[in-house]
Structure 1
Amino acid sequence: MPKLEEDEVFLDHQICSKKPLIPYRYFIMFMVLAATTVLSAVRNTINVAIIAMVDDPTDEHSTGTINTTRNQQFTTQQFDWNQHEQGIILGSYYYTYTAIQIYAGNLSDKFNVVHLMALTQLIVTLCTFITPLAVSFSIYYMITIRMIMGLVQGVTFPCLYNMIENWFPPTELGFAQGLAAAGCDLGSALTSIFTAWISERGIWGGWPAAFYTMGMFNLVFGLVWMAMVTRDPFSNRFVSDYEKRQLYHIVQNTKTEQPKIKSTPWIKMITSLPLWSVIITKGIIGLAYSVINSKIPVYLDSVLGYKLENNGLINGLLYIGSGSTQLTCGPISKYLIARGLIGRTATRKLFETISLSGIIVSLIAVCYLGDNAHLIVTCLIMSMVFHGVNLGGDVPIVAEMAPGLIGTTFGFANTIASASGFIAPALIAVILGDDAGSQAKWILAFQIVAGLQFVALILFGIFATAEPQSWGKVENLHLDEPVSRLSQESEKIQEINNN
């Protein structure tokens, strides 16, 4: 290829166009990050807000509901929910979110993912705005609203992964997927801090204002999404001709000759031991995340005595810890595999082992630190840091096991992982009863979660594999061929970008 001017490139040797200063797909990367940030923020507002929503017993050491020391500015309505009712509220979102997972991939294949996401944003915005009104009437209205949100948001990740595949070359896929994962932690961090701050200070009416604010952010995001995003770069009027030809060049070489499997081999898939080892591991590590995500605000408040505002700051640090390792471990694992330093399966097992072992050590340490609140918080943050390492382990391995059934297999595996969202608060409610301030019961909860992580560590270490399974291969196409071809095209794109 002859040397070209810095602002020009000939992809078809006939047509030239200006090279944009910033490729439009980088804006799409930002929108992917924003999508999961908004999703997580709207979904998790309740996790901290519920501390302000639940009636505070006058006796600081009494049991029955969440014990919290709150600012006297609180004048908003509060509710006498016990731990069981709180568990149902926190878990209700995941009832429908879990149920839709198997079908979500199919929906994203059949319909325009941008339109599907836009409809999702509209419904979720309405649900978020009416949440304070719904809960004032009945706990059952609140649960219904949460279930509707879970149902419609269940299609978010299949839609985003579908769109990512259409927008980005192989060299950028890992980073785009990492942004999607990190957005969840970023959204949880921001909403934890903001909800705690606005609820503690009673600004704009206290906790209801947190829902109104998140609803407004969701609305703004939805409008930008509808105006600026399309399902692929070729139908987007904001993408330059240069970038369209650049991406078309690689799509032509990476998406041809990939016939799809004619029918889903359900029997072989559901009887696959390697797949089940991954599914169970995803569910168990998801349980650890969900316990911290939904119930640690209660622990910080009722056992460690952190006021609501400090509680929110600590929760923010938990998610920042997880997001930081999610952003780095995905690319690091890909680098190790691409350089041939470690085999694909060995890499996945290494990262998953680090993740699970770190969670186990962190949670067990919490059990033996007594009343040392600062060290306990540090260990909880470290458990989330180690959780993020799984982006180099169980997260990418599903696609590697079944390259011809990525959507179906991901939906099947993610169903179990998503179920942890309602299993976790239910489990903690059973252990605590109405004694949320019992340190002994919390220690039992942490020990159970840590013990389950050890089970996952053994299962994944023995049975998991990144090798394509016979039931999940693309017909008439060896995996090594497209991987090699992708690498060649990635180098071409990198060369074009550097010129």
Structure 2
Amino acid sequence: MEESFSSDDSSGSKIFVARAYEYHETFKGRLFSTRFQLVMMGFLGFFLVYSMRVNISVALVAMTFTESYDDNDTINENCPVRESNSSSNYAEEGTFDWSTTQQANVLGAFYYGYMITQIPAGYLASKYGGKHLFGFGVFMTGVLTLFTPPVSYLGVNWLIVIRVFEGIAESATFPAFSHLISRWAPKNERSMMAALSASGSSFGNMITQPIIGYLCTLDLWSGWPLGFYGNGLLAIIWYIVWCFVVFDSPDTHPRISECEKQFIKNNSQVDESKSHAIPWKGMLTSLPFYAILVAGFCSIFMNYGMMSCLPQYLSNVLNFDIAANGFLSAIPWLGCFIGAILTSQITDFLLNRRYVSTTFIRKFNQFASAVLSGVFLVLAGYAGCNSALAVFFISVGLLFYGMNFSGFYCNSIDIAPQFAGVLFGITNTFSTTTGFLAPIMVNKITQDNIHSSELWLHTFYAFAAVSWFGGFTFLLLASGNIQPWAITDSFQVET
């Protein structure tokens, strides 16, 4: 394609811009673009950070001794006993003799670190760019993951410390990437770029559980360290590639074509010419900001519900050993991945054709995601002793849940493209508290009898109610338009 361009020739400039639009709106133009390279590297980055986040939950089963239990204490007698749970007593050999409380502290330690530095990460991204912040977050998490096996032998408290630091390292990733997307995504590709990159997290959940479960069965180095070593090495390799492939903005990319750069800049609402003070007062008094805050909290709360409730429900109520059936545990996250990709493509198509407004489609996607995922989670509670049906309902629920990637998730770029990283850091900090609150709620509701299908149904209704509240709040308060407090004086808002 012709790349010559003279800024002195106004007619030539118009022809160039027209050609840029024509080429970069095609599938081929997107596929071979530098912005698509950013999306794919972001996808792989989120895949790795989620894989390194959840690997401990699978590996911990093989790392620790499992106490012997009696059948009557560990099964729901109203449902048939699966073959893997049929022995009256069982004991598993592990490497460490850690109590259930210590194991719970290991699992929760990540979220303490993850919560405390997201707002500073968003601020740093707005000041210095998102490339190095995102890349270094993945890299440091990979290094800490490599050290997880040897540190575990020093004691459970050392493992808790390293998991806290992993949370701190990962906390930079989402705010930093939100900042990058705001600089690289043309207005008509925001949903696709944000959803496709972030869906790497669902893919990480889907792939990690069965792979880590399989590695734990191997004899080499007791099996369980292999997943940590594999995750850590892949993260370091990814970081090396990231440094050479990704740049903070189209203006700083040395290999971007003038055609693509012009296309992005003509469809951007971000001013890179100077730094801007963060409009804290306008942001914190904005109803659309609180729509994202509430919807994000409720949506992530639902996410943790689906992540934690399904394995526990299948094990404690349906007598289904989820650890021995990694394929089934991965299916729901495949549904989430498909839902995210399909919704983003449909959303951008509708917006590009001007069939709907940005406000309408963001509200529709988030409301449908919140309501339908809650409905299907409740239906899973009515599946009786049919574990396959329960997994099916959860999978359909997560399919609809994937719509939120084209809802609240990218809405911060709509309302405040200049300050998207900071805004996302604030809202995601609030959402991260669900990492502690969701398990507490499950424990409170089911503590009298963890095998009671009725109590678990109450749990599903509680998660669904939180999700529905978030959906209705977003429907009432959200906006798809850039807010007055987010407008800088060097660009015009498209009407």
TM tier, smaller:
0.7 to 0.9
Within the candidate set 365, 368, 374, 1:360 is matched to: 374
Within the candidate set 164, 178, 181, 2:198 is matched to: 181
Matches within 5 A, 1:340-355: 340-355=354-369
Indicate whether 1:337 and 2:351 are aligned.
yes
The 1:407/1:221 distance shift into structure 2, 3 A limit, reads closer
Letter aligned with residue 96 of structure 1 = G
Range that drifts further, 378-387 or 263-272: 263-272
Q: Which residue does 2:239 correspond to in 1?
A: 222
Q: Which residue does 2:59 correspond to in 1?
A: 49
The 1:138/1:302 distance shift into structure 2, 3 A limit, reads farther
Q: Which residue does 1:381 correspond to in 2?
A: 395
C-alpha deviations, 1:382-441, integer Å up to 9, x for none? Answer: 121111011232122223233443222222222222222232233334444496544444
Paired residues of 2:174 and 2:424 also in contact (CA < 8 A): no
Indicate whether 1:424 and 2:418 are aligned.
no
Q: Which residue does 2:26 correspond to in 1?
A: none
The 1:140/1:41 distance shift into structure 2, 3 A limit, reads same
Give the distance between the partners of 1:114 and 1:142, measured in 2 at CA.
29
Paired residues of 1:54 and 1:80 also in contact (CA < 8 A): yes
Q: Which residue does 1:120 correspond to in 2?
A: 137
Indicate whether 1:96 and 2:113 are aligned.
yes
Matches within 5 A, 1:368-407: 368-407=382-421
Matches within 5 A, 1:250-269: 250=263, 253=266, 258=271, 263-269=277-283
Range that drifts further, 429-438 or 139-148: 429-438
Paired residues of 1:76 and 1:206 also in contact (CA < 8 A): no
Letter aligned with residue 363 of structure 2 = K
Paired residues of 1:87 and 1:425 also in contact (CA < 8 A): no
Range that drifts further, 157-166 or 206-215: 157-166
The 1:413/1:254 distance shift into structure 2, 3 A limit, reads same
The 1:330/1:378 distance shift into structure 2, 3 A limit, reads same
Matches within 5 A, 1:10-409: 10-12=4-6, 22-61=32-71, 75-82=93-100, 85-111=102-128, 113-167=130-184, 169-200=186-217, 204-232=221-249, 239=255, 243-250=256-263, 253=266, 258=271, 263-409=277-423
Letter aligned with residue 345 of structure 1 = T
Paired residues of 2:187 and 2:267 also in contact (CA < 8 A): no
The 1:444/1:88 distance shift into structure 2, 3 A limit, reads farther
The 1:233/1:202 distance shift into structure 2, 3 A limit, reads farther
The 1:445/1:178 distance shift into structure 2, 3 A limit, reads same
Paired residues of 2:67 and 2:91 also in contact (CA < 8 A): no
Paired residues of 2:191 and 2:406 also in contact (CA < 8 A): no
Letter aligned with residue 222 of structure 1 = Y
Give the distance between the partners of 1:62 and 1:198, measured in 2 at CA.
31
The 1:245/1:60 distance shift into structure 2, 3 A limit, reads farther
Give the distance between the partners of 1:95 and 1:312, measured in 2 at CA.
28
Structure 1 segments unaligned to the other structure (5+ residues): 1-6, 482-499
Structure 2 segments unaligned to the other structure (5+ residues): 17-22, 24-28, 76-81
The 1:356/1:253 distance shift into structure 2, 3 A limit, reads closer
Give the distance between the partners of 2:40 and 2:103, measured in 1 at CA.
34
Give the distance between the partners of 2:165 and 2:312, measured in 1 at CA.
25
1:234 Cα deviation after fit: 5.7
The 1:468/1:233 distance shift into structure 2, 3 A limit, reads closer
Sequence identity percentage: 24
1:38 Cα deviation after fit: 0.9
1:85 Cα deviation after fit: 4.6
Letter aligned with residue 346 of structure 1 = F
The 1:313/1:157 distance shift into structure 2, 3 A limit, reads same
Paired residues of 1:261 and 1:405 also in contact (CA < 8 A): no
Give the distance between the partners of 2:239 and 2:288, measured in 1 at CA.
39
SS at match of 1:304: coil
The 1:251/1:449 distance shift into structure 2, 3 A limit, reads closer
Paired residues of 2:199 and 2:337 also in contact (CA < 8 A): yes
The 1:77/1:435 distance shift into structure 2, 3 A limit, reads farther
1:177 Cα deviation after fit: 1.8
Residues paired across the two proteins, number: 467
Paired residues of 1:92 and 1:422 also in contact (CA < 8 A): no
SS at match of 2:257: helix
Give the distance between the partners of 2:486 and 2:122, measured in 1 at CA.
16
Paired residues of 1:186 and 1:319 also in contact (CA < 8 A): yes
1:179 Cα deviation after fit: 2.0
Give the distance between the partners of 1:290 and 1:170, measured in 2 at CA.
31
C-alpha deviations, 1:290-332, integer Å up to 9, x for none? Answer: 1222453333333333335544222221211111111121232
Paired residues of 2:125 and 2:421 also in contact (CA < 8 A): no
Range that drifts further, 42-51 or 178-187: 42-51
Give the distance between the partners of 2:154 and 2:350, measured in 1 at CA.
55
Paired residues of 1:48 and 1:297 also in contact (CA < 8 A): no
Paired residues of 2:178 and 2:424 also in contact (CA < 8 A): no
Letter aligned with residue 357 of structure 1 = V
The 1:470/1:372 distance shift into structure 2, 3 A limit, reads same
Letter aligned with residue 370 of structure 1 = G
Paired residues of 1:261 and 1:404 also in contact (CA < 8 A): no
C-alpha deviations, 1:40-65, integer Å up to 9, x for none? Answer: 11111123223334543322536599
Paired residues of 1:348 and 1:466 also in contact (CA < 8 A): yes
TM-score, normalised via structure 1 length: 0.82
Letter aligned with residue 261 of structure 2 = Y
TM-score, normalised via structure 2 length: 0.82
